[in-house]
Amino acid sequence: MRLDRFLSETTGMSRKEATRTLHRSEITINGDVVKKGAVHVPEDAVVEWNGTTLTLLGPTYIMFHKPVGCICANDDLSHVTVFSYLDLPNPEKFHTVGRLDLDTSGLLFVTNDGQWSHRITSPKHACEKVYRAQVSEPLLPEHVEAFKQGLKLHGEVALTQPAHLEIISAHEALVTLTEGRYHQVRRMFAAVGNKVETLHRESIGGVQLDTDLEPGEFRDLTAAEVAQLAG
């Protein structure tokens, strides 16, 4: 890889900034000052910027506790985005694995590995997602069967895939889905005459949101979690 590209991938600086940084003699490869952006960076080279080693990010998998009021987009003028919480040198190389609504909190993965995220979001793999919902109207046992049979959502023809509704208390339930249609949980409750007041995603593919993560906090997924989700 060319040095100027290496610098922009590891630090997020533009090509122009990389050229200026190189001209200021701030970059070394294996201890030697290098001033030309076109220079090839060998795989095992140690590249330093003013003494700090720069490392290329390989495939990266992040668990994020999305707070309410934050949007799953790379840029947004009126809302804080997921990426403003994550300290990534090149956020445009990353994407969220599926989306949560502005008003939904909970488990969200962020990655730069498109194949891995496809396994989680593709309907073919029917990856289970569990949501905890607080609703305005009392939950009724017949809704459990309705969720299992599939519901017709407003404006759609195909019924939803069988979903599991577990009633926890009069106004609280856990919902397990294997698909991810737009505002699906909210629209499923609307289809049975109820209204979601709060919605929180607890798990994806058996991986639970880490209880040590406060809203807005994140950590790397463990190798075991990455493998479990790819499986």
Binding site for ligand URA (CB under 6 A): 100-101, 104, 183-186, 199
Residue 185 or 229 with smaller CB distance to ligand URA = 185
Residue 112 or 184 with smaller CB distance to ligand URA = 184
> Nearest approach, Cβ of 102 to ligand URA (angstroms)?
8
Residue 6 or 129 with smaller CB distance to ligand URA = 129
Phi/psi of residue 108, each to 5°?
Answer: -140, 135
> Nearest approach, Cβ of 105 to ligand URA (angstroms)?
9
Largest interatomic CA distance in the chain = 72
> Nearest approach, Cβ of 133 to ligand URA (angstroms)?
9
Strand pairing category for 47-49 and 27-29: antiparallel
The answer to whether 84 and 7 are in contact (CB under 8 A) is no
d(CA 205, CA 215): 21
Residue 10 or 176 with smaller CB distance to ligand URA = 176
Active-site annotation, residues = 101
> Nearest approach, Cβ of 221 to ligand URA (angstroms)?
20
